[in-house]
């Protein structure tokens, strides 16, 4: 984390990079800045890769503000205003002798300039670069975000960026121990290109256990966050979580999923108008997606503050799980030993989709022979855990000295989602009382704070998904008679552990009031 000067406000640095060009890094950077500025915060955005400098194009500026690198290092370059109040753009460094940008490798001036900014948020658009200075800025940020897209090249580039992060962290850890660093460099040179971090650790261990221990510890320090842009298909919505699973298991790196941004015509229209999406089309699908990502970032930053700026703890077994088949059949599916048959079936379906031939999340990471082993283990888990006799025999042989209550290998939690849920629950604890008037939006917020999907409520209550969506969206024209709606709302309230009488009474009153208001307006 970049240190703050004494007496300065708490500055948060968010770095956006990690993917090939065109996946939406600029879109995310600008609109996160807009979102924070709309909250009344002071925000600065900047392009740290001068060759891809384009933030000015969606902030109402005809040309990018340019300064020499010397002026930037000396603090003479001041952020310039944009069309968004509270949001400013830091000038890009260039070489006045050639009228071309300064090479990205000379990017250490960015860190020094950031230290002099007395603002609430600094957003760095790193571009597609993987230079040492770019990796350093990403690692020093409070939140580092990789942006990808549901296509093989973009996913492969994201995994390469994660590998590059690990190598940068490892080399920095051994900077003062040149003999150990030489050993690491020889090992890396002898391995195939793009070798995963666990393979590097295993090869180092053949020569020096002490260096291998350092290499394994540094692997656990690498943590990034992931946003999937340009999603079109329903299957694209699962890509982020699937990539998180693959990165943890086969790269040994935490890739925490923040959310997705849908493919939306509103995006290119706003670019043509030189306007940020949240300003030009705030009600579009992609704008709502970005707002969700922004809320999760705020929740992560709030959680970091309570931990004193430390990263969320990684699972103690994460290092051992990396690049190896999970030890038990429960770990294969990512379920606890107490999982019911329905949960196991859903987990099998999810794992089959992730590890099928040609699956997008596997791009460039999982070798064919390893994939076949994983697929075989998934089928073994399916056949064993859904057969009561075989499951009991497996439990007795695998856990002879333990009970299911004491050995429950939980799936690793998504830190961003958990932080967001904790923040929403704290807000709801202040918001809900005996006088609360429940609306569709409030019911949605309660449901999301508990991590419950609409489909789950539909399955438990037997209420049509379309009716549940209409209740939350207050699309009263799509609902049946009031007496049925009242019953539906009571069942939803019970599932969400709310007072059914209070929820039904206040919601139906709101329904009547809005219906009467529309009737008077049409009359």
According to the model, what pLDDT value does residue 520 have? 54
**Token code pair at residue 142:** 């409070």
The mean per-residue pLDDT over the stretch 333-358 comes to: 91
Q: What is the pLDDT of residue 399?
A: 85
Average pLDDT over residues 195-220: 92
Q: What confidence score (pLDDT) does residue 321 get?
A: 45
Q: What is the pLDDT of residue 153?
A: 94
Confidence of residue 339 (pLDDT cuts 50, 70, 90): confident
Q: Could you tell me whether strands 121-125 and 223-231 are parallel, antiparallel, or unpaired per DSSP bridges?
A: unpaired
Q: What is the pLDDT of residues 209-228, one digit of tens each?
A: 999 999 999 998 898 999 99
Report if residue 497 sits inside a domain. Answer: yes
* Beta carbons of 129 and 165 less than 8 angstroms apart: no
In this structure, the answer to whether residues 299 and 341 fall within a common structural domain is no
- Tell me which residue range forms the domain holding 20: 12-155+223-306
**Is 213 a domain residue?**
no
- pLDDT tens for 226-262 read 999 999 998 899 999 999 999 998 999 989 999 999 9
So what's the pLDDT on residue 148? 96
Same domain, yes or no, for 257 and 368?
Answer: no
What is the per-residue pLDDT across 481-516, written as a single tens digit (0 to 9) for each? Answer: 888 889 999 999 999 999 999 999 999 988 888 776
Q: Quick one: pLDDT band at residue 474, thresholds 50, 70, 90?
A: confident
- % of the chain residues with pLDDT over 90: 49
Shared domain for 37 and 145, answered yes or no, is yes
pLDDT at 407: 40
Domain harbouring 268, CATH code: 3.40.50.300
Cβ atoms of residues 162 and 224 within 8 Å: yes
Q: How confident is the model at residue 98 (pLDDT cuts 50, 70, 90)?
A: low
Q: Report the candidate in 117, 155, 113, 157 with the shortest Cα–Cα distance to residue 133.
A: 113
For residue 356, the domain's CATH number is 1.10.287.110
Residue 425 placed within a domain = no
Task: Look at the chain and report how many structural domains it folds into.
Answer: 3
Lowest mean pLDDT among 54-58, 188-192, 383-387: 54-58
From 246, 274, 306, give the residue that closes a domain: 306
75 pLDDT exceeds 70? no
Q: What is the average pLDDT score of the chain?
A: 84
Q: How far from chain centre, in Å, is Cα 332?
A: 23
pLDDT band at 183 (very low <50, low <70, confident <90, very high): very high
65 has pLDDT over 80: no
For the segment 165-189, the average pLDDT, to the nearest whole number, is: 93
- Looking at the domain assignment, is residue 175 inside a domain? no
Q: Is residue 113 part of a domain?
A: yes
pLDDT band at 76 (very low <50, low <70, confident <90, very high): low
Report the DSSP beta bridge partners of residue 148: 228
Distance in angstroms (rounded) separating the CA atoms of residues 255 and 146: 9
- Choice among 64-78, 218-232, 385-399 with the minimum mean pLDDT: 64-78
52 vs 293, residue with greater confidence? 293
Q: Can you tell me the distance from the alpha carbon of 508 to that of 276, in angstroms, rounded to the nearest whole number? A: 38
Q: The domain spanning residue 514 has which CATH number?
A: 1.10.260.40
Question: What gap in Å lies between CA 314 and CA 413, rounded to an integer?
Answer: 10
Q: What are phi and psi of 147, to 5 degrees?
A: -110, 130
- State the average pLDDT over residues 285-302: 92
Residues 90 and 149 in one domain: yes
Question: Band of the pLDDT at 117, cuts 50, 70, 90?
Answer: confident
| Order of all β-strands in the sheet with 254-262 | 80-81, 87-89, 43-47, 121-125, 12-17, 143-148, 223-231, 254-262
Specify the pLDDT at position 325: 56
| 65 domain residue, yes or no | yes
101 lies in some domain: yes
Q: What is the reported pTM?
A: 0.80
């Amino acid at each position: 984390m970049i240190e703050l000067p004494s007496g300065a406000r708490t500055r948060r640095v968010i770095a956006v990079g990690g993917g090939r060009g065109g996946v939406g890094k600029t879109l995310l950077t600008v609109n996160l800045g807009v979102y924070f500025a709309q909250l009344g915060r002071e925000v600065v955005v900047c392009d740290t890769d001068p060759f891809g400098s384009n933030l000015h194009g969606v902030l109402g500026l005809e040309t990018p503000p340019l300064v020499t690198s010397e002026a930037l290092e000396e603090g003479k370059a001041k952020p310039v205003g944009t069309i968004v109040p509270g949001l400013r753009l830091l000038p890009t460094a260039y070489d006045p002798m050639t009228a071309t940008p300064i090479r990205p490798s000379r990017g250490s001036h960015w860190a020094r300039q950031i230290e002099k900014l007395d603002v609430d948020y600094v957003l760095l658009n790193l571009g597609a670069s993987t230079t040492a200075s770019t990796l350093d800025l990403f690692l020093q940020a409070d939140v580092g975000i990789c942006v990808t897209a549901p296509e093989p090249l973009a996913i492969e580039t994201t995994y390469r960026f994660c590998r590059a992060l690990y190598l940068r962290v490892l080399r920095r850890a051994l900077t003062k121990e040149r003999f150990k660093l030489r050993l690491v460099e020889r090992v890396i040179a002898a391995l195939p290109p793009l070798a995963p971090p666990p393979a590097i650790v295993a090869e180092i261990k053949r020569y020096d256990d002490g260096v291998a221990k350092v290499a394994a510890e540094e692997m656990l320090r690498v943590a990034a966050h992931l946003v999937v842009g340009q999603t079109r298909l329903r299957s694209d919505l699962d890509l982020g979580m699937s990539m998180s699973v693959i990165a943890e298991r086969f790269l040994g790196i935490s890739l925490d999923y923040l959310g997705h941004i849908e493919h939306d015509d509103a995006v290119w229209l706003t670019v043509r108008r030189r306007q940020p999406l949240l300003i030009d089309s705030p009600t579009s699908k992609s704008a709502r997606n970005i707002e969700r990502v922004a809320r999760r970032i705020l929740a992560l930053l709030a959680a970091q503050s309570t931990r004193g700026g430390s990263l969320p703890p990684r699972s103690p077994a994460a290092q051992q799980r990396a690049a190896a088949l999970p030890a038990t059949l429960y770990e294969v599916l990512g379920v606890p030993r107490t999982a019911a048959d329905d949960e196991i079936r859903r987990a099998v379906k999810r794992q089959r989709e992730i590890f099928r031939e040609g699956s997008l999340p596997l791009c460039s990471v999982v070798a064919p022979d390893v994939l076949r082993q994983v697929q075989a283990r998934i089928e073994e888990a399916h056949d064993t855990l859904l057969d009561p006799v075989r499951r009991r025999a497996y439990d007795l042989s695998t856990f002879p000295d333990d009970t299911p209550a004491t050995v429950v290998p939980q799936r690793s939690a998504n830190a961003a989602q958990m932080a967001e849920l904790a923040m929403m629950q704290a807000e709801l604890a202040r918001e809900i009382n005996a006088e609360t008037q429940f609306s569709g939006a409030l019911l949605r917020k309660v449901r999301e704070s508990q991590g419950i999907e609409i489909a789950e409520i539909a399955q438990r209550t037997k209420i049509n998904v379309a009716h549940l969506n209409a209740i939350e969206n207050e699309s009263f024209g799509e609902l049946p008679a009031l007496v049925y709606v009242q019953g539906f709302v009571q069942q939803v309230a019970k599932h969400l552990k709310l007072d059914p009488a209070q929820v039904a009474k206040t919601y139906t009153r709101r329904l009547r009031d809005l219906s009467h208001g529309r009737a008077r307006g049409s009359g």
